[in-house]
Each structure stands twice: as structure tokens, then as C-alpha cells.
Amino acid sequence: MTTLAGTIWGQLRTSHLYAVFKGPYIYFGETGHVPPVRWKGHLTSDADFIGKLKRVDPAVAFDETPIFFVGIHISVADDEPETKRKIARRAIEAELHRRFSLDPMPVSPATNLLSSSPPVPVRHQFNFNKVTVANTVYAMIADEYQKWLVRNNNDVKK
């Protein structure tokens, strides 16, 4: 039997927010590349997702619980001047952490946060509302994750 493992598309140097899930753990991040470039690090580096998980909960890090990645293209960050794009992504990333802290239920059962919120660039103004963007990103991440949970459960039952 074969199942779709996932698809990803987009221009190489573009702004993305992403989330990584494994069991009850969730990790938020940002990248200025199409996400797989960054995701590799989360599976190999001790400083990233899997490395942190090994320290926090080795049982889950090494067990067969599937890992789930979801990336969201943030075009409003790409619309910012090039020197401000990373600052813009980090502003949304910080807000995304805050959205999760205010209400983790949309991504339940992944309620344990592994990533740290970046410092908030309070002095910077952007051409977008970071709260609105983060709300949309959070809803999209939660929606994709919940759909995957249902698919994954069905696959397991089969």
C-alpha cells in the first residue's frame, strides 16, 4: 500500500512560517527558504526539534510516533524591504507563539511547546498587521494538523 507523504512547493528564497509536531510536542519556526531546506536541520541538529526532544522526552524522540511538518508561505513578509524580511518573519513567529499560549486547544493534543519565542521587534513597523497574519497562520497550521491526525488515525486502523 502506498500513501501520500506530503507535498511542498514554492520559490526557493521566500518567507515561511512552519510548525513541527511529534506526539504531544509542537515547535514553531520561520525560514527565508522553501521550508525543507530548514526542516532538514530539525531532523539532524541537536539544537533543533529532534535534538531538543531527545533532551526533553527521549522516549517520544526515538519512538515510532510519526512526525508532521506544515509550512505556510508568508507573502506579506516578502513584500517588506529585503533587509526587514527576517525581522518581519520573527515578529509573526513571536506572535504565533503568543497565539498558542493564549489558546493551545486548536492544536490539541500537541500542547507542549518545544520552541522558544524570538524577541519581539517592538520598534519595527510593518506593512501588515502581525496579529491578523499570525491568527491566520495559526488557524491554517491547526487545520492541516487536525486533518492529518484524522487521516493518520484512519491509516492506523486500516
Partner 1 sequence: MNTTTQTIDVHAARLCQAIARIGYEPQIALMDIVDNAVTAKASTIHISLFLAPGKTLKNRNSVQKYQVVDDGVGMTNEEIRAAFSLGANGKYAPHSLSKYGMGLKSAGLSLGNRIHIVSKKEGQLSSRQTFDVDLIAQKDAFVILVSLLSSDEVAYYGSLIPAASGTVIEIDGCESINHQSSSTTVRKLEERMGVVYASFISDAIRPLSIGIRVCAGDLPDFKLITPLDILFRDQAKAWDLATYDYVSPYLLLDEDLKLDMGDGKTIPPIRLIAVALPQDKLGGPSSPLNPDQKSLVKRYQVSRPNAGCFIYRNGRLIQWGNDLEGFLTKDEFNLRIRMDLTEEHDDVLHVDVTKQRLEIDDELLARLKRILGDPRDSAKAVMKKCTALLDKPTGIEGAAYSERSANVAEDDPEEMATGTPPEEVLLRQQEQAVEAETIKDATQNGGAGVTGGAAMLGEAPFAKIRYTDGVEYRHLWTPYRDAKEGVFVCINTHHPFYTEFMASLADNSPERLLLEALIFGAGVGQINTAGNLYEVELEDIKKVFSRFHNNCGSYLADFTSENINLLSK
Which residues make up the interface to partner 1 (CB under 8 A)? 94-95, 97-98, 100-105, 108, 111, 113, 117, 119-120, 122-123, 125
Cis preceding-peptide flag for 109 (omega within 30 of 0): yes
Shortest Cβ 56–partner 1 spacing (Å): 13
Helical ranges in 4-157 per DSSP H: 36-44, 49-56, 58-62, 75-78, 85-102, 130-157
Shortest Cβ 158–partner 1 spacing (Å): 28
DSSP 40-51: HHHHH-TTSHHH
80 versus 95: smaller Cβ distance to partner 1: 95
Shortest Cβ 61–partner 1 spacing (Å): 21
36 versus 104: smaller Cβ distance to partner 1: 104
Greatest C-alpha distance within the chain: 53
25 versus 100: smaller Cβ distance to partner 1: 100
